[in-house]
């Protein structure tokens, strides 16, 4: 056992050394050669997948298991060695991406997941040839695509499980969790009245635009929503040839007790300004909430 650990540690150290040496010498990429940017959803160190149980999540160190984990990514740019941001042209494939937005899909409809069997952990496209040392992107659906009737949309905007009424637009993140800490405990029972309760049987993280003006939920807003809630992530020193963009659910939930739900609010955090469950989560998405800026996102990192 000891030899295994030490061997691993040593090789990991060597690997890190080599990777470090390579980061600035990858050479030009792009041009005629399509590029695949890899993503992975994780809970801490573990891949976030249907059918797995994850423990020690959030402030109550709860156990969770996935019901859904899908995310829209847009406005992808690569950062050139000279610091310039170069647009990354998505390759439309009529299933995972059009020319403006890509869908990452980490659920496969097994275990407790609803959804579909297919998965997608990458964004594909082209950039002009060059030396690139980083990556920037947004989580979200661009405004011009976000507020149309989703039943008329084409891929990847045609999954009914990922939609809100179109005044609000799409769920930029559809992360639905089942929490093991259920059912409601006796002390929470009196709060189980009306909409929401305190004890939660599940916890959802549905990021989307809010404050989109008055009017029918099935009509588009006349101007961009007050809270677009499309966080931008920039990974400098990210080696596109070797690294993966990691979306860490454990880090996103580090300040949240997923076993309770703020009274009178939607299950989990659905981005609404009145929902106290969103305070800690929006902070970690890197989004301002109730006028307070985030001190820095923790959800996305290079891995």
Partner 1 sequence: MIWRGLTILFNAVLLAACASASDETGSLAPSPAAETASSPLVSDLVPVTFDLGLPDWMPPPLEPASNRLNAAKAELGRRLFYDVRLSANETKSCASCHRQELAFTDGLPVSPGVTGQLTPRNSMSLANVAYAPVLTWSNPLLHTLEQQALVPLLGQEPVEMGMANLDAELVDRLKAEPIYRELFPRAFPEKQGEISLATVVRALSAFQRTLISANSPYDRYRYEGDIDAMPEAAIRGEALFFSEKFECHHCHNNINMNDTIIHARAPHPEIAFNNTGLYNIDGKGAYPPGNTGIAELTGRPEDMGRFKAPSLRNVAITAPYMHDGSIATLDGVLDHYAAGGRTITNGPHAGVGRNNPLKSSFVPGFDMTSEERADLIAFLRSLTDEAFLTNPKYSDPWKKEP
Considering only residues 62 through 121, tell me which ones interact with partner 1, judged by CB under 8 A. Answer: 94-96, 109, 112, 114-121
With binding defined as CB under 8 A, does residue 58 bind partner 1?
no
- Closest listed residue to residue 303, CA positions, set 250, 237, 253: 237
Angle at the Cα of 47 from the Cα atoms of 41 and 52, rounded to 5 degrees? 115
Q: Is 46 or 293 the residue whose CB approaches partner 1 more closely? A: 46
Applying CB under 8 A, among 207, 240, 246, 253 the residue interacting with partner 1 is: 240
Residues 272-291, interacting with partner 1 (CB under 8 A): 272
Nearest distance in Å: CB 284, partner 1: 21
With binding defined as CB under 8 A, does residue 3 bind partner 1?
yes
Q: Between the CA atoms of 232, 153, 124 and 74, what dihedral angle is there, to the nearest 10 degrees?
A: -10
Number of residues that bind partner 1 (CB under 8 A): 79
CB proximity list for 53: less than 8 A, separation 6 or greater: 63, 64, 65, 180
Number of Cα atoms under 13 Å in the Cβ half of residue 281: 26
Applying CB under 8 A, among 45, 82, 83, 152 the residue interacting with partner 1 is: 152
Applying CB under 8 A, among 145, 155, 191, 288 the residue interacting with partner 1 is: 155
With binding defined as CB under 8 A, does residue 149 bind partner 1?
yes
Q: Between the CA atoms of 274, 201, 67 and 218, what dihedral angle is there, to the nearest 10 degrees?
A: -40
DSSP state, residue 72:
E
Applying CB under 8 A, among 78, 101, 246, 266 the residue interacting with partner 1 is: 266
CB 97 within 8 A of CB 122: no
With binding defined as CB under 8 A, does residue 194 bind partner 1?
yes
Applying CB under 8 A, among 81, 84, 192, 273 the residue interacting with partner 1 is: 192
Taking the C-alpha atoms of residue 285 and residue 175, their distance in angstroms, rounded to an integer, is 13
With binding defined as CB under 8 A, does residue 158 bind partner 1?
yes
Applying CB under 8 A, among 267, 285, 286, 299 the residue interacting with partner 1 is: 267
Q: Is 19 or 293 the residue whose CB approaches partner 1 more closely? A: 19
Q: In the beta sheet, which residues pair with residue 40?
A: 246
With binding defined as CB under 8 A, does residue 187 bind partner 1?
no
Taking the C-alpha atoms of residue 195 and residue 181, their distance in angstroms, rounded to an integer, is 20
Nearest distance in Å: CB 187, partner 1: 14
């Amino acid at each position: 056992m000891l030899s295994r650990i030490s061997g691993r540690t040593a090789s990991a150290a060597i690997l890190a050394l080599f990777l470090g040496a390579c980061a600035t010498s990858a050479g030009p990429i792009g041009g005629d050669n399509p590029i695949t940017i890899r993503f992975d959803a994780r809970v801490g160190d573990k891949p976030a997948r249907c059918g797995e149980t994850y423990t020690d999540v959030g402030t109550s160190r709860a156990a969770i298991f996935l019901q859904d984990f899908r995310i829209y990514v847009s406005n992808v740019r690569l950062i050139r060695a000279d610091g310039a941001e170069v647009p990354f042209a998505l390759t439309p494939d009529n299933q995972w991406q059009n020319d403006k937005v890509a869908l990452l899909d980490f659920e496969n409809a097994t275990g407790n997941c609803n959804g579909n069997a297919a998965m997608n952990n990458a964004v594909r496209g082209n950039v002009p040839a060059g030396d690139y040392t980083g990556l920037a992107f947004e989580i979200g659906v661009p405004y011009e695509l976000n507020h149309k009737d989703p039943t008329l949309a084409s891929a990847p905007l045609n999954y009914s499980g990922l939609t809100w009424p179109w005044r609000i637009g799409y769920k930029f993140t559809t992360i639905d969790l089942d929490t093991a800490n259920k059912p409601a405990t006796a002390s929470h029972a009196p709060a189980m009245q009306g909409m929401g309760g305190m004890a939660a049987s599940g916890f959802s993280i549905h990021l989307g635009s809010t404050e989109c003006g008055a009017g029918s939920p099935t009509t588009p807003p006349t101007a961009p929503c007050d809270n677009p809630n499309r966080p931008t992530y920039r990974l400098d020193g990210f080696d596109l040839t070797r690294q993966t963009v990691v979306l860490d659910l454990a880090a996103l939930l580090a300040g949240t007790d997923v076993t309770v739900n703020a009274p009178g609010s939607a299950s989990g955090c659905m981005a609404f300004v009145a929902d106290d469950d969103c305070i800690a989560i929006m902070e970690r998405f890197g989004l301002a909430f109730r006028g307070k800026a985030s001190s820095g996102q923790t959800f996305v990192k290079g891995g």
